[in-house]
């Protein structure tokens, strides 16, 4: 093959990737940082302003891969820290509060830069809001990804407990996932795996040890309330709960045909909503 032919073939290949939208960000790097007695492992990829992704109850951030990839394509550096008890993250699990978890992830941001968009999925939105309250200098903005309403049916919390229980049958867990996490037409099977009962118990205990007033407002940072249109934790009547309370700080965005597992069901749409909003923030 001549040099001219190789150059032409390479150019055509690049053009083909661009025309099909197949643009790939760098693979994530695995890093770690210490916070007192805790060691927090995290993945980092992309270049640009920081976005820190926080997982839901009892789950890790590996499943945020497609979401992180899209955010990196959009010009962000994406950080995915694992909570204590998952992957390479470890530290005290008893007698800890939201403030301890917030300090874990604050250490990640300080290891990478000055501040970040804090995007917490479901339970993770509480930790994002705690971070913005405890460490306002680190919060460019807060994204509540499928945050629950002020109240929700008890059966939804019971479903999470059942899904976490190894004694539950596959059919029971699938029913729980369909009830609480996945919209009609979405495949819940990938979420049969990835649950950590000990982490769930630690996180629930931490909620009881944390004063709600400490974190509810999420500091004074701008806030994106990103909701799944079919999320039973966030019914239609609760759409504007936070906007009514905090006014122009809050932007509400609803993604249709998605439930409480929003970033897994609609990773590209979720990433684009975060990036579109993030692009409007001032440094």
User: DSSP readout, 186-228?
Assistant: S--GGGGS---HHHHHHHHHHHHTS-GGGTTT-TTS-EEEEEE
Indicate the SS3 state at residue 87.
coil
pLDDT of residue 258: 97
Six token digits for residue 219? 């500091």
Which of 84, 94, 159, 149 minimizes the C-alpha distance to 122?
Answer: 149
CB burial of 184-222 (b: ≥16 within 10 Å; e: otherwise) equals eebebeebeeebbeebbbbbeebeeebeeeebebbbebb
Which of 23-37, 117-131, 216-230 is the least confident region?
A: 23-37
Average pLDDT along the chain: 91
What confidence score (pLDDT) does residue 180 get?
97
> Does residue 11 carry a pLDDT above 70?
no
Which single residue is written with the structure tokens 């009962």?
197
Q: Which residues contact 14 (CB under 8 A, 6 or more apart)?
A: none
Going 14 to 16 to 18 to 22, the CA torsion angle's sign is negative
pTM over 0.75: yes
**Closest alpha carbon to 271 in 80, 97, 135, 73:** 73
* Signed CA dihedral, 64, 181, 272, 245: sign only: negative
Domains of the chain plus CATH, in order, are 29-152+197-279 (3.40.50.1820)
Q: Is the pLDDT of residue 8 over 80?
A: no
What's the DSSP call for residue 102?
A: H
pLDDT bracket for residue 6 (50, 70, 90): very low
Tokens of 214: 């400490």
270 band by pLDDT with thresholds 50, 70 and 90: very high
pLDDT band at 3 (very low <50, low <70, confident <90, very high): very low
| Closest alpha carbon to 164 in 63, 54, 81, 172 | 172
Which secondary structure element, helix H or strand E, spans residue 173, and what is its range? helix 170-180
C-alpha dist (Å) from residue 174 to 138, 160, 191: 38, 11, 9
């Amino acid at each position: 093959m001549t040099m001219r032919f190789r150059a032409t073939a390479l150019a055509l290949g690049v053009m083909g990737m661009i025309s099909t939208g197949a643009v790939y960000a760098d693979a994530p790097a695995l890093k770690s940082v210490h916070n007192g007695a805790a060691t927090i492992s995290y993945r980092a990829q992309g270049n640009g302003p920081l976005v820190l992704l926080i997982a839901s109850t009892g789950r890790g951030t590996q499943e945020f891969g497609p979401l992180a990839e899209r955010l990196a394509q959009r010009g962000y550096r994406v950080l995915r820290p694992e909570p204590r008890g998952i992957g390479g993250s470890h530290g005290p699990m008893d007698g800890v509060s939201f403030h301890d978890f917030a300090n874990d992830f604050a250490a990640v941001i300080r290891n990478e830069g000055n501040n970040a968009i804090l995007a917490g999925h479901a339970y993770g939105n509480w930790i994002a809001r705690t971070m913005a309250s405890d460490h306002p200098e680190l919060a460019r903005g807060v994204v509540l990804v499928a945050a629950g309403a002020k109240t929700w049916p008890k059966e939804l919390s019971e479903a999470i407990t059942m899904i976490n229980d190894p004694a539950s049958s596959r059919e029971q867990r699938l029913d729980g996932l369909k009830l609480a996490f996945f919209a009609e037409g979405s495949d819940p099977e990938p979420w049969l795996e990835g649950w950590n009962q000990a982490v769930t118990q630690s996180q629930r205990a931490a909620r009881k040890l944390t004063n709600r007033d400490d974190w509810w407002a999420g500091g004074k940072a701008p806030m994106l309330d990103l909701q799944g249109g079919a999320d039973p934790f966030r019914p239609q009547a609760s759409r504007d709960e936070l906007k009514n309370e905090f006014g122009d700080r809050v932007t509400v965005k609803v993604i249709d045909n998605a439930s409480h597992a929003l970033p897994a069901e609609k990773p590209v749409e979720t990433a684009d909503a975060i990036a579109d909003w993030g692009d409007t923030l001032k440094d």
